[in-house]
Chain A
Amino acid sequence: MARLLSFKAAVFFTLFFFISTDFVCCNNGRRVGDPLETELSGFSVPLEHSFELDDTGKFQVRGSLLLKTGREPSVSLTQNQLSEEDRAKLKEVAAVDGLYRIRVPRVFLQADRQTEWQMEGHLTAFVRACAMVESHLSDVITLHTDVSGYLIGVSIVTLPGACRGTEVEDEVDLEVFNTTLSIMAPVNAPGPETALFLERMEQESEKKGKNPQEQKSFFAKYWYLILGGAIFLMVTNSAQPPAGGGREQS
């Protein structure tokens, strides 16, 4: 059963796997194991966050995103710990169901020179502060680029995402961010699959060709029936007396 299921999944969710492989590859790129390369052709932008009791946006630096430009952009993150003060504030905000917001500046990832990648404005996203607290600061941040390499959006979700009202006793849990970061480019939407279909059609017709029974023409298949019918007709015709023959002659 399990094998069947996986087979089906493979058939039906190729697209999904395509996305997830993309995702994984991005994750690999994220790992801060190659600082040299990022320094060579990348730049860093601040990742800022804001959580206030009155929900006004007072953004402070949370960490810095190292973006590697080029054909396949990747991203890595170095971030600070939450200070004692911030931890208390985050818990307070969570208690009144406030929002925890992040923002990143708009950048252009395909740029060669530094002057080109900077753009005006920010991209913002939010998550409920209580979800942030209850997940012990484990969040998933995804940066979305468009087809030409502009950063168009950022999204943040926490894992788990729900707010159940559980108290976070241990202050240590709110100290370090446990962030999963990825960068996603748009997937190519598939066009109509004509080639495969034609191939399949050809295969089918080939199979038909191999099967001699189906290749036979109509007459080849049913010659005995037709012949039988013809003979039957002839016999019945000849058996009939030539009625009115005499009259025709006169």
Chain B
Amino acid sequence: MGKLILLLLNLIVLYNIVAAVFEDQVGKFDWRQQYVGKVRFSHFDTHMQSSKKVLLATESNVFAAINTRTGDLFWRHVDKTGPEGNIDAVLHHGQDAVLVVGNGRVLRSWDISVGGLNWEIVLDSGSFRSACLVGQQGTVKHAAVLKKSVISLHYLSNGHQKWVENLPESETVNYQAVHSDGNGQVYALGVVSHSHIAVVAYSAEDGEIIKQVSVEAPWLSNIPASCAVVGQGMLTCVDSTTMSIYTLDLYQQLQMIQIPLQSLGLEVDPGFQPHLVSHQPHPARQPLSEFLLQLGPDHHLLLQLNNGQIVILRDFKPALLVSFATTGEKTVAAVMSPKNKTACGINLFSAESGRRLLDTTLIFTVDPNAGKPERLHVQAFLKKDDSVGYRVMVQSEDHALTFIQQPGRVMWTREEALSDVVTMEMVDLPLTGTQAELEGEFGKKADGLMSMVLKRLSSQLIMLQTWVAHLWKLFYDARKPRSQVKNDVSIENLSRDEFNLQKMMVMVTSSGKLFGIDSKTGSILWKHYLDNIPSNAAFNLMVQRTTAHFPHPPQCTLLIKDKDSGLAALHVFNPIFGRKSQVAPPALSQPILQSLLLPLMDQDYAKVLLLVDDQYKVSAFPSTKNVLQQLQETAASIFFYLVDSSQGRLSGYRLRTDLSTEQVWEVVIPVEVQNIVSVKGKRPNEHVHSQGRVMGDRSVLYKYLNPSLLAVVTESTDLHQERSFIGILLIDGVTGRIIHEAVQRKARGPVHVVHSENWVVYEYWSTKSRRNEFSVIELYEGMELYNSTVFSSLDRPHAPQVLQQSYIFPSSISTMEATLTEKGITSRHLLIGLPSGGILSLPKMFLDPRRPEIVSEQSREENLIPYAPELIIRTEWFINYNQTVSRVRGIYTAPSGLESTCLVVAYGLDIYQTRVYPSKQFDVLKDDYDYMLISSVLFALFFATMISKRLAEVKLLNRAWR
């Protein structure tokens, strides 16, 4: 028995696949990029002149500090996703930044120098409306938080509540803003829509109501959108229907004074909602009496409110963006105005006088492949001669941040669109010029023996030349220290490496910006912004032509579909250069239900894309004569399926020769009981090397390898923990035959599914045991194959054998994917993205329904691991060691040219790229392989043989003489 256990232990130890990296390998094959998301609030750290920090709070619920010199992150705090972690307001004062998070649920203070948490308090319930800093006698010690029915004042030093007061008549009055300007009072401003404004003044000392007035304002409905406090407590509003500016003195509150815009000689652009911006340089002091008024998309004005009179200081037209900034005692307005098509000019104007400041012009070049500038964040500073200098951070529609210094030098650019990657593909890089030449030689038709020989010779001469050049470069680089050898990657010198490990990552982001990223270094090689993308678009990226068909350029097609209307558009581009293709995509007038990429190719080697519209008519792209002819020939064997999850309907269709379709099967899952949550097919580029598994007794168990098998996952509508369940249906996508139907009782989603080869792995939440569980289903044909040459769904009458086993997993998971290799010889691993930011590479061997409960001689022969109900997370299985990947949403795997190596990209808030070797690097010699030793041994042996042979000959000769 002891021997047996020892053997067993040995077995387990032997199967501990070491996936860890050595210290010197860190960053050699992998890289990580961290993002923050679309910026909502930004504050430059001004409490120190030399500070180089900008604080960003984003729509992805991230609060971060960025180095303004380099654009790198100083620190970053990632909160919960969704409304729970939503950053409602950021109040920045000195060393502290106070955040209101989760619709007024939590108040948090951060030390901005190191990013540490000062304090955090939980606020009373009630939806958040507004917040401001409250100062007195020049110092700021409190922050006021306005909620739907209460206002509270908190100490900045520890977050404790100083006082909390109910707002009067909070049922009828919609309180929207809070204001304080250092006179010991806090004003809560509310509005009864189209009736009146309610102003409540609280004493900052004890929260006592000092004054409470309501003033007629029948035109007002939203204070933050149309009002601002200017100068000495003058609430100034602008209204587009009456074309007037209204002012109200908060100290006296007599009535609103109407100043028609016409009396100032101003006019609002038709259809534009005018907007006011005021500026309060210090929370303990009054706001400036100057303010900005926007009257049109490119029309801004700098106005001054002087004793109830409005004076126009400066008219900016055209001006795209305007922003205030303060340094020391000086406040300036930065104005961005378009210069020509590709450039914008930014100038500074004194806020007091409206005069243009000298030598403050900054040129901002608008990238034609990026979005329009959307917001301007200005960092102003005093130069040595007391004049104002500045830098700007331009935020554009595609969520990019560009930091520019005078006179127009771009210091850095952050592509925050990459924080929300929707889908991606990896495309092989093109061959080098010489390789392409060779390829071209074989591609062309033969035109005579002599010319062919000459061509061959010339191309080989070129190869020799490049090889010499390569050797020279190697030699030259070897003399330099390693740190100086830089591999500059640019589009020009991109070429496929020996093992095809370097690829082009084509990433599609939700903002509609496409990126081409070099997988080796992570540098962005091209970007392309698609404007007018609907906000709820669904993207589907397909590689129609790979780089293998020189001289035809590779071609990717992006299907952009509006989820509401179903209308779609195609964007065809070259994935290596990002340029829009010459090929004109068809205009799609009908809503699209389904798109299919067929293995058929047209004469230019582009795969045929079929689009099914809501009339069940099919259109092909490209739709040349050749393609249509091929489609007609193969129509009878083209089947596709549609899923209507709202009705629980799965239906199969067959293509007819006239490109119409006919329904051939239908499966209906009643939506009253369960909902279809995901349908997973197999990846089309997956290879399975072995058709079966060799068992302990040397017989073969054949896998059921149906390429058109679909795994359909359903969740019960009844969410009660005793009655909820998850359904797994395996359906043949061609015939609609239900191969297997299983129910996991007392289980709930979210379900993550991976479907590959002959197995389906899914993860769910067990409501009974309150834990995450993995389950694996494997399908086998049995001991003999029905038809070993080809798999046809139409001719497989016998149902496969189904094996299933479940395991306990100690963590919840975010996403899951399986590794993929060139030929499918390498064993498979599951890559699991954990909420903690780790990416776990779990050998599929542990998820094998044939793991025996009782160890037998045969199962040991087969290398099966004895069943253990718990899957243990081993730390060496984390492929991203300490490189946490926040909020992993997807993992993409691609095969490389090496069978042992699989390229992995995990994306979410961050992007992480690495390589995995599921069966170790069995086809690669190690870095430290001793070539000298092996060759010297070889030579020595060779010479030894020679000498001994000679000696033997001499000896034989001598013996013969004897």
Interface residues of A in 193-228 (CB under 8 A from B): 193-194, 196-197, 200, 204, 207, 211, 214
Let me know if A13 and B697 touch, CB within 8 A.
no
- Give A137 Cβ to nearest chain B Cβ, in Å: 14
User: Is A235 among interface residues, defined by CB-CB distance under 8 A?
Assistant: no
Residue from the list A13, A131, A197 in contact with B853, Cβ < 8 A: A197
User: Is A190 among interface residues, defined by CB-CB distance under 8 A?
Assistant: yes
Let me know if B737 and A157 touch, CB within 8 A.
yes
- Give A4 Cβ to nearest chain B Cβ, in Å: 6
A201 to B875, CA, bound (A): 25
Let me know if A189 and B744 touch, CB within 8 A.
yes
- Give A153 Cβ to nearest chain B Cβ, in Å: 4
A150 to B729, CA, bound (A): 14
A200 to B853, CA, bound (A): 9
Binds A, one of B163-171, B518-526, B661-669, B888-896: B661-669
Let me know if B737 and A155 touch, CB within 8 A.
yes
A86 to B868, CA, bound (A): 58
User: Is A43 among interface residues, defined by CB-CB distance under 8 A?
Assistant: no
User: Is A49 among interface residues, defined by CB-CB distance under 8 A?
Assistant: no
Contacting residues, chain B, for A171 (C-beta < 8 A): none
Contacting residues, chain A, for B727 (C-beta < 8 A): 146-147, 186
Render A129-173 as a binary contact track against B, CB cut-off 8 A, 1 for contact.
Answer: 001000000001010101110101101011111110000000000
Contacting residues, chain B, for A159 (C-beta < 8 A): 797
Contacting residues, chain A, for B766 (C-beta < 8 A): 191
Let me know if B797 and A158 touch, CB within 8 A.
yes
Let me know if A15 and B736 touch, CB within 8 A.
no
Chain A, residue nearest B809 (CB) = A192
Let me know if B741 and A15 touch, CB within 8 A.
no
User: Is A124 among interface residues, defined by CB-CB distance under 8 A?
Assistant: yes
- Give B826 Cβ to nearest chain A Cβ, in Å: 25
Let me know if B736 and A125 touch, CB within 8 A.
yes
Residue from the list B665, B796, B801 in contact with A16, Cβ < 8 A: B801
- Give B955 Cβ to nearest chain A Cβ, in Å: 56
Contacting residues, chain B, for A15 (C-beta < 8 A): 802-804, 849
A190 to B869, CA, bound (A): 12
User: Is B469 among interface residues, defined by CB-CB distance under 8 A?
Assistant: no
User: Is A99 among interface residues, defined by CB-CB distance under 8 A?
Assistant: yes
Given known A16-B801, A125-B735, A146-B669, contact A196–B806 (CB-CB < 8 A): no
User: Is B927 among interface residues, defined by CB-CB distance under 8 A?
Assistant: no
User: Is B674 among interface residues, defined by CB-CB distance under 8 A?
Assistant: yes
User: Is B365 among interface residues, defined by CB-CB distance under 8 A?
Assistant: no
User: Is A12 among interface residues, defined by CB-CB distance under 8 A?
Assistant: yes
Contacting residues, chain B, for A153 (C-beta < 8 A): 667-668, 731, 736, 738
User: Is B2 among interface residues, defined by CB-CB distance under 8 A?
Assistant: yes
- Give A163 Cβ to nearest chain B Cβ, in Å: 7
Let me know if A126 and B664 touch, CB within 8 A.
yes
Category for how many chain A residues contact B: 35 or more
A4 to B666, CA, bound (A): 43
A187 to B668, CA, bound (A): 18
Chain B, residue nearest A9 (CB) = B783
Let me know if A5 and B738 touch, CB within 8 A.
no
Contacting residues, chain A, for B735 (C-beta < 8 A): 125-127, 155
Contacting residues, chain A, for B802 (C-beta < 8 A): 15-16, 19
Let me know if B664 and A189 touch, CB within 8 A.
no
Let me know if B738 and A190 touch, CB within 8 A.
no
Cβ-Cβ contact count across A and B, 8 Å cutoff: 166
Residue from the list A16, A144, A148, A196 in contact with B741, Cβ < 8 A: A144
A207 to B697, CA, bound (A): 29
Let me know if B636 and A152 touch, CB within 8 A.
no
A118 to B315, CA, bound (A): 74
User: Is B858 among interface residues, defined by CB-CB distance under 8 A?
Assistant: yes
User: Is A188 among interface residues, defined by CB-CB distance under 8 A?
Assistant: yes
User: Is B795 among interface residues, defined by CB-CB distance under 8 A?
Assistant: yes
User: Is A8 among interface residues, defined by CB-CB distance under 8 A?
Assistant: yes
A101 to B665, CA, bound (A): 8
User: Is A40 among interface residues, defined by CB-CB distance under 8 A?
Assistant: no
Contacting residues, chain B, for A152 (C-beta < 8 A): 667-670, 738
- Give A213 Cβ to nearest chain B Cβ, in Å: 9
User: Is B743 among interface residues, defined by CB-CB distance under 8 A?
Assistant: yes
Residue from the list A1, A125, A146 in contact with B697, Cβ < 8 A: A1
User: Is A11 among interface residues, defined by CB-CB distance under 8 A?
Assistant: yes
Given known A8-B697, A190-B804, A190-B806, contact A121–B794 (CB-CB < 8 A): no
Given known A125-B735, A146-B727, contact A189–B797 (CB-CB < 8 A): no
Chain A, residue nearest B773 (CB) = A192
Most A Cβ at <10 Å: residue of B727, B801, B856: B801
A188 to B804, CA, bound (A): 10
A192 to B858, CA, bound (A): 23
Let me know if B737 and A125 touch, CB within 8 A.
yes
- Give B812 Cβ to nearest chain A Cβ, in Å: 16
Let me know if B797 and A186 touch, CB within 8 A.
no
- Give A230 Cβ to nearest chain B Cβ, in Å: 29
A4 to B743, CA, bound (A): 32
A130 to B668, CA, bound (A): 27
Let me know if B697 and A5 touch, CB within 8 A.
yes
Let me know if B741 and A121 touch, CB within 8 A.
no
User: Is B742 among interface residues, defined by CB-CB distance under 8 A?
Assistant: yes
Residue from the list A163, A193, A200, A204 in contact with B795, Cβ < 8 A: A163
Given known A5-B699, A123-B666, A189-B744, contact A155–B736 (CB-CB < 8 A): yes
Let me know if A124 and B794 touch, CB within 8 A.
no
User: Is B854 among interface residues, defined by CB-CB distance under 8 A?
Assistant: yes
A240 to B311, CA, bound (A): 105
Contacting residues, chain A, for B794 (C-beta < 8 A): 127-128, 131, 161
Let me know if A188 and B742 touch, CB within 8 A.
yes
Most A Cβ at <10 Å: residue of B737, B796, B870: B737
Given contacts A99-B654, A152-B669, A204-B5, 10 further A-B contacts (CB under 8 A): A4-B697, A11-B852, A122-B666, A123-B667, A150-B669, A155-B735, A157-B737, A186-B727, A186-B743, A193-B805
A-B contact pairs, 9 of them (CB 8 A): A12-B852, A126-B665, A150-B670, A153-B668, A184-B738, A185-B741, A188-B743, A190-B806, A191-B768
